[in-house]
Every structure is written in structure tokens, then in C-alpha cells.
Amino acid sequence: MSKITMKFINIVLFSFFIHLTNGDTKKTSMNEDLNRACIIRFLQIRGKLDEQIQVSPAPADMCRILLPLVYANHSERLCLRLWETKSIKAECVFETLKKFEFVDLELKQEIITKLKSIPKGDKRKILHEVTVAQREALTRTAKMCKSDFTYGGLFDEILGINSSLIALQREYCLLKYALENKFLDLRYININPRNIDVRNIECTSIIVQSQDESEEKLLEAFKSRKYSSDAINCLIEKYKDERIFGWNLAKDFLYKIKISENEKRAEDWRISKKLSDFNKISSNCLYSFNWSLFQFK
Ligand SMILES: *[C@@H]1O[C@H](CO)[C@@H](O)[C@H](O)[C@H]1NC(C)=O
Ligand SMILES: *[C@@H]1O[C@H](CO)[C@@H](O)[C@H](O)[C@H]1NC(C)=O
Ligand SMILES: *[C@@H]1O[C@H](CO)[C@@H](O)[C@H](O)[C@H]1NC(C)=O
């Protein structure tokens, strides 16, 4: 059978199942049972699920058609969620999660949650194992892709974190740093407007991590412009010498914090001057390395 015919049959069957789903509830549950049986069989074949678990027979022909649909549906939703979250490096994260078979874990979680035939204690144990595996996959993926490890809040439950609290802690530390180092020369600023508990925050490591991230981004931007390594080293060195991380931070915060228009204008002038001076200084890196500014290969 040709590929196109197969595709057409898939579409017809797909519509048939959707029709069933929209039809009466008895048929819907039949359809769901079949879906579930297929997923269980699939996970068992991949060694992801105990062979003991079985609800109803999974007819191979039906499953061959159903599974790709279910799978595509899950992948697609995962993909969309990742792409809709700004802080995530979606492309790398999606590909890496695929390698860790993250969708399998999601399917398993869904199946186990719904199955009534498993004793409560066992269920809890299996679900815990799934969560641990998911957490491991997410953590390793964020590291490999150098992507936001909080996933912008998408997987808080799995990761066991409160991403909005982490974001507030980060804001608190960065603003405190900008003020203490006079990147922002302001007094009487409330650095904890949301009144979070700040007793146990490790600001130093948050600042260092934030600095590393911004240097990483800069490095990537320079590399994508194919600057030579001499030019890049020079630029990064100047960036550190002139403490541009702090000045950029100040510029960002200037429009977030509540201060008078006069203060804002004065600070903006001071900060913008620093940044434009840096632009001049850093352009020397490019001119003085005129032979090596771009790599020829
Ligand atoms: C895809 O997933 C959504 C959300 O769980 C579900 O409502 C929908 O029925 C699924 N579609 C198919 C074809 O399985
Ligand atoms: C997360 O932290 C925020 C800020 O402290 C808080 O308002 C929110 O209730 C927390 N969410 C959970 C689920 O704990
Ligand atoms: C820059 O280019 C000029 C002439 O093209 C050359 O004389 C000079 O040595 C170069 N400077 C560096 C640092 O390579």
C-alpha cells in the first residue's frame, strides 16, 4: 500500500475515532479502553511497564493505527507548551527530552493515574518513580541545553519547586546587588515589595549564576557573528572590566521600580553614558584586531 493511501486511511480512521469521542459516552469509554490497552502494551514492549498489568486485549492492527496518533498528540502538546514559554530553549529542550523518552513517562503517568486495577500503595510507588525519572530528564535536559532550569513554571510539580518564588528571589538579589554596588544610585527603595521570606536566600550564587548566563549569551552572540577568538577574548575582558553586567541590570530595573520621573531621568542619563562609553571602548577590540576580527576558513 502506498504511503499516501496509508495516510488517507489514518485520517479516515482518525476522524472515525473523533466521531466516536463526540458520540455517545459508551462508545467513548470503549475508545478510551482501546487507547489505554494500546498504550499499556506499547509501554510493556518498551520495558517501561510491568507485564502483570493488563486490562483488555490490545488488537495489534488497531494499535498500529492508534498509537502514532496518541503519541503525536502528546508530543505536539509538549512541543507547544515548550515553545510558548519564553525562557525555554525550546528546540534543544524538545529534542533532548525526546531522547530521554519523556513522552513515554507522561503516557505512563497518565495510564497509571487512571487505572483502577492497581492497589493504592503500588500506584503511589509507581507514580513516585515516574516523577523521579521525569525530574531527572528535565534536570539533565536543562543542563545540556543551558536552558532555564525552572522551565518557566511548566513543570513545577514534577520538579518540586515554586518557580514564581524562585523568580522573586532572583529579582530581590539582583536589585540588592545593583543598589549595593551603586549601579543604581538610589536610596529608599523597597527591595522586597512582594514581602517574600529572604532569610535563607543564597544571593551570591544567584548573582554568579546570572553573570555566567549573561556572559554565555554574549559569547554565543559573538560566535554567531563569527568574530575571531582574539576579538572575543578582548570583548569579554572589557565587558568584565567595565562591569557591564551591573550596568545592564541597572538599566533593566530602572523601568521596573517606582521612583520619581526626575530620579529616573538622572539615573538613566548616568547609566546610558556608561553603556555608550563601553560601546566605544569595545569597538577598539574590533579595530585593533583588524586581521583577526573575522575568522576565514
Ligand atoms: C489529544 O489530547 C487532548 C488532551 O488530553 C485530548 O482531549 C484529545 O482527545 C486528544 N486527541 C486525540 C486524537 O487523542
Ligand atoms: C509560590 O510562591 C509565591 C510567592 O511567594 C506564592 O504567592 C505562591 O503561593 C507559591 N505557590 C505555591 C504553590 O506554593
Ligand atoms: C591593522 O591593519 C593595518 C593595515 O591594514 C596593519 O598595518 C596593522 O598592523 C593591523 N593591526 C593589527 C593589530 O593587526
CA distance 253 to 182: 13
Beta carbon of 269 within 6 Å of any ligand 3 atom: no
Closest by CA to 223, choosing from 208, 213, 236, is: 236
Beta carbon of 290 within 6 Å of any ligand 3 atom: yes
**Which is higher by pLDDT, 15 or 285?**
285
User: Could you tell me the end-to-end alpha-carbon distance of the chain, in angstroms, rounded to an integer?
Assistant: 48
Ramachandran assignment for 129, one of left (phi > 0), alpha (psi -120 to 50 degrees), beta (any other): alpha
The residue extents of the domains of the chain are: 3-159, 163-294
Mean pLDDT along residues 110-121: 88
Name the residue with the closest Cα to ligand 3, atom 10.
290
Atom of ligand 1 nearest to the CA of 17: 13
For ligand 3, the distance from its centroid to the CA atom of residue 242, given in whole angstroms, is 26
What are 171-229's pLDDT values in tens digits? Answer: 999 999 999 999 999 988 999 999 999 999 999 999 999 999 899 889 989 989 888 88
Q: Which of 228, 287, 290 to mutate to test the pocket of ligand 3 (most atoms within 8 A of CB)?
A: 290
Q: Which of 155, 165, 201 to mutate to test the pocket of ligand 2 (most atoms within 8 A of CB)?
A: 165
Atom of ligand 3 nearest to the CA of 288: 13
Q: Which amino acid is at 102?
A: F
CA distance 233 to 221: 13
The answer, yes or no, to whether residue 121 has pLDDT greater than 80, is yes
What are 46-81's pLDDT values in tens digits? Answer: 888 888 877 677 888 888 888 888 889 999 999 999
Q: Helices (DSSP H) in the chain: which residue ranges? A: 3-22, 25-45, 60-84, 90-99, 102-114, 120-145, 156-159, 163-180, 203-224, 229-241, 244-254, 261-288
pLDDT of residue 285: 86
Name the residue with the closest Cα to ligand 2, atom 5.
165
What are 220-260's pLDDT values in tens digits? Answer: 899 898 888 888 999 999 999 999 999 999 999 998 998 99
CA distance 75 to 70: 9
CA distance 82 to 148: 11
The answer to pTM > 0.85 is no
Beta carbon of 25 within 6 Å of any ligand 3 atom: no
For ligand 2, the distance from its centroid to the CA atom of residue 164, given in whole angstroms, is 7
Ramachandran assignment for 153, one of left (phi > 0), alpha (psi -120 to 50 degrees), beta (any other): left
For ligand 3, the distance from its centroid to the CA atom of residue 217, given in whole angstroms, is 29
Name the residue with the closest Cα to ligand 1, atom 2.
73
Quick one: DSSP state of residue 227? Answer: B
**Which is higher by pLDDT, 292 or 162?**
162
pLDDT of residue 3: 46
